[in-house]
Structure 1
Amino acid sequence: MRQYQMKETKEVNKIICNKCGKEIPVINGRAEEGVFSVDYTWGYFSEKDGEKHSFDLCETCYDELLRSFMVPAEIEG
């Protein structure tokens, strides 16, 4: 006797930079360029308590973001 389990899978088919709108190529569920992805849930000491914010930035927009920092990000390697 065979028993089966239903599986639902999700695969990324498109990534769009939230800042500039550029489409990042995706092949077989994998981005073909560098993408900075954020999934952040705000905590108690925020006016956004419990909100989850998610976005993607292409490498160019990420570099622009870093250049805007008053205190540089720590970068290793």
Structure 2
Amino acid sequence: MMDVIRCNMCGKELSVRNDILMEDAIIISKKWGYFSKKDGETHRICICEDCYDRLADSFAVPVQRDETAEYM
């Protein structure tokens, strides 16, 4: 069980309690396939919300944003 996850961009420590990330972040896991130079590798990254905002602002095509009316 991990107590801390680090943002891959800035290195900030994101706390984890009882396997629950205590602040929001984007976590990406990508299993690379046949037509990539990384065939057979799985890459995992975590990006904190501040770094995500900076990264998303740099995209040539803006991020699609939808509002959630209710949380269940």
Identical residues among aligned pairs (%): 45
Q: TM-score, normalised by structure 1?
A: 0.78
1:15 aligns with 2:14: no
Larger Rg: 1
Gap regions ≥5 residues in structure 2: 68-72
How many positions carry a matched residue from both structures?
A: 67
Question: Segments of 4+ in structure 1 off by > 6 A?
Answer: none
Shift of 1:25: 1.7
Shift of 1:32: 1.0
1:35 aligns with 2:25: yes
Matched AA of 2:25: V
> Cα RMSD (Å) of the superposition?
1.1
Q: TM-score, normalised by structure 2?
A: 0.82
Deviations 1:14-71 (A, max 9, x none): 1111110100122222111111101101111111111111010110011111011001
Cross-structure match for 2:16: 26
Gap regions ≥5 residues in structure 1: 1-10
